[in-house]
Structure 1
Amino acid sequence: MPHSLTQLLDAKGVLLADGATGTNLFEVGLEAGEAPEMWLESHPDRITALHQAFVDNGADIILSCSFGANRHRLKLHQAEGRTHALNRIAAELARAVADAAGRPVVVGGSVGPTGELLQPLGALSYAEAVEAFREQIAGLKDGGVDVVWIETMSAGEEVRAAAEAALACDMPYVVTGSFDSAGRTMMGIHPCDFHKAVDGLSRRPVAVGANCGVGASDMLATALELETGSPDSALVVKANCGIPRFVDGGTVYSGTPDQMADYARLAIDAGARIIGGCCGTSPQHLGAMRQAIDSHVRRQRPSIAEIVEAVGPLVNKAASAAGETAPRTGRRRSRD
């Protein structure tokens, strides 16, 4: 049976995913070095309020506050023994908001990197990574998420470990990487090769794409190079809201609602079917993106020059800059 993310994609064509978690929680008191996941028990009302603000501004997809809720990250806060419980709470908080929305809202269970390097570069074995993700995803499943949202990844082995864990829990999944190092992930993966990390698994991801790391212009440049590996996998992009600047002791992102609206329109033109924001993206930004998506008629694929003219200059060079073009063997994206 199709799950709700697939159903909603089929019904609406293009979906709006939510915005930032951490940077918005900083606005309501989260301290530097404090894990957002610790607020699941101490300040659940503030996390619920953020989910609600995203839904009120039109989000079709909200992600649970569980990005760093795996045993390896939680041990930094002496909370590794509460991995399952914290993930269940994160899912339940998002689920309650989605269920009260009065319209279909998908809950994605956010799963970020372990924070460890896998062998042979580090000490973590592949089997240990799978088990850590399985433990986290089991909690998210018990809390009621619709789909596992594996995000901000840079290493192919870790992507595969998280995807294998999702399948072990009988859950559909999404995978996104952070292409912030000269247009590639920190571990050197080209956008057109990212989907290969899950080749051979029993099920393909519902969506493949990119998040975080870069602002709207660079994210759109990445979108032009991304491949999903299957016509049944949607393209997803969640860009940071411009470039961070330090102002009066705090971090302020340069993106305006108008710029994020332009980004949303261009993302549709580039073939994306799930569009959201990452660091710095507020509910206000998301509201502008909702209006842009609802009123936009897809145009031809944009050029880099058109992207720069609309939303500003690139910070990184493109992954396939002169002399670095990677072979392209797969379909660029689904339903393009």
Structure 2
Amino acid sequence: MTDLLSRLLGQRQWLLADGATGTNLYNMGLAPGDVPDLWCETHPDRVRDLHRQMIASGADLILTNSFGANASRLRLARAQDRVAAINLAAARLAREAVEHAGRPVIVAGSIGPTGEIMAPVGHLTETQATQLFTEQALALKQGGADILWIETVSAAEEMRAASRAAEEAGLPWCGMMSFEPGGRSMMGVSPPQLAKLIDRLPYPPVAYGANCGTGPSELLLAVSGFAAAGCERPLIAKPNAGVPRYQDGGLVYDATPEVMAEFAVLARDLGIRIIGGCCGTTPAHLAAMRDALEQRPSGPRPSSDAISSRIEALMTR
């Protein structure tokens, strides 16, 4: 049976992924320094409510609150022995929110980077990374995740490990790297290099692309490098809503809903199939993106200059 993501991609020009998890939870009361993933057990109602807000704002795909729920990261909170329980709870909360959506919504099991530097620069081997990811993946599958969503990766070795974990779990997956302003990941991977890596994987993703980064314009310019590499897989763009600042006791990002709506239209016209937002993207941002995608007609493929100028014009208002 074809997975839900592939079926929807076969029916639709674009799909809207959700917005931020961590930054929205901070604005819902998560204390600075606390681990967002643990809220799946301590504050499940708030996590479920955030999922429901994203669905109400138009999300076709929501991420579980499990970005940092691998044993390496959870060790910092002395919760490394609760990996399975936390990921299981994360997937179940998202599944509960989707059950009342009234339309198909994909539950994507979020898996972020290990938090360690991969060998040979660091000490974490691909085999160890695969074990960390597989532990998460199996629990997310058990909790009801439709796909795995590997995001904010910076090393090729970590992407390969994530692919093996997805294969071990028997789930389709999507993979995203985060790119710096210079156009490469923190570990030096360029978009064309990622495209070539994806094509060589024995268990390739349904879709791939970029997330996080410094803002919508920079991320779109990075993603345009995937198309230049000739890869024909569906692409993903999920940028931060600009740059954060601390205001009124919470984090506020400088990209308004209007800016993110413009990003969404540019992404669609660039040929990106899965469009969403990362850090700072609220349900209000997402609702504006959905409205723009539905109401504004498709245009020509935007140039790099058009991407930069159209977003910059809105950012400086």
TM-score range, shorter chain: over 0.9
Partner of 2:22: 22
Stretches of 4+ aligned residues off by more than 6 angstroms: none
Partner of 1:108: 108
CA distance in 2, matches of 1:32, 1:198: 35
Judging changes above 3 Å, is the alpha-carbon distance between structure 1 residues 46 and 124 closer, same or farther for their aligned structure 2 residues? same
2:40 corresponds to 1:43: no
Partner of 2:284: 284
Judging changes above 3 Å, is the alpha-carbon distance between structure 1 residues 220 and 200 closer, same or farther for their aligned structure 2 residues? closer
CA distance in 1, matches of 2:253, 2:309: 19
Partner of 2:260: 260
Give the deviation of 1:195 after TM superposition: 2.8
Partner of 1:126: 126
Partner of 1:168: 168
Judging changes above 3 Å, is the alpha-carbon distance between structure 1 residues 248 and 269 closer, same or farther for their aligned structure 2 residues? same
Partner of 2:190: 190
CA distance in 2, matches of 1:247, 1:96: 33
Partner of 1:242: 242
Whichever residue aligns with residue 245 of structure 1, its letter is R
Partner of 1:296: 296
Residue range with higher mean Cα deviation, 194-203 or 209-218? 194-203
Partner of 2:153: 153
Q: Note if contact 2:19-2:281 (Cα within 8 Å) is conserved in structure 1.
A: yes
Q: Note if contact 2:245-2:251 (Cα within 8 Å) is conserved in structure 1.
A: yes
Whichever residue aligns with residue 172 of structure 1, its letter is P
Aligned with 2:115: secondary structure?
Answer: coil
Aligned with 1:116: secondary structure?
Answer: coil
Q: Note if contact 2:181-2:214 (Cα within 8 Å) is conserved in structure 1.
A: no
The number of residues matched between the two structures is 313
Give the deviation of 1:294 after TM superposition: 1.2
Q: Note if contact 1:163-1:198 (Cα within 8 Å) is conserved in structure 2.
A: no
CA distance in 2, matches of 1:184, 1:100: 40
Give the deviation of 1:249 after TM superposition: 5.8
Aligned with 1:312: secondary structure?
Answer: helix
Give the deviation of 1:196 after TM superposition: 3.0
Q: Normalized per residue, which structure has more helix?
A: 2
CA distance in 1, matches of 2:250, 2:92: 31
Whichever residue aligns with residue 277 of structure 2, its letter is G
- Gapped regions of structure 1 (runs ≥ 5): 316-336
Q: Note if contact 1:196-1:229 (Cα within 8 Å) is conserved in structure 2.
A: no
Q: Deviations over 1:15-71 (max 9, x none)?
A: 000000111011111111111011111100000000000000100000000000000
Q: Deviations over 1:182-229 (max 9, x none)?
A: 111001111111133344433321111000012111112112212486
Q: Note if contact 1:68-1:112 (Cα within 8 Å) is conserved in structure 2.
A: yes
Whichever residue aligns with residue 133 of structure 2, its letter is F
TM-score by length of 1: 0.90
Aligned with 1:10: secondary structure?
Answer: helix
Whichever residue aligns with residue 293 of structure 2, its letter is I
Whichever residue aligns with residue 282 of structure 1, its letter is T
Partner of 1:332: none
Q: Note if contact 1:157-1:197 (Cα within 8 Å) is conserved in structure 2.
A: no
Whichever residue aligns with residue 305 of structure 2, its letter is A
TM-score by length of 2: 0.95
CA distance in 2, matches of 1:31, 1:292: 34
Aligned-residue Cα RMSD (Å) equals 1.6
Give the deviation of 1:250 after TM superposition: 4.1
Within 5 A, what are the aligned runs for 1:126-145? 126-145=126-145
Aligned with 2:309: secondary structure?
Answer: helix
Give the deviation of 1:246 after TM superposition: 3.2
CA distance in 2, matches of 1:79, 1:265: 41
CA distance in 2, matches of 1:4, 1:230: 22
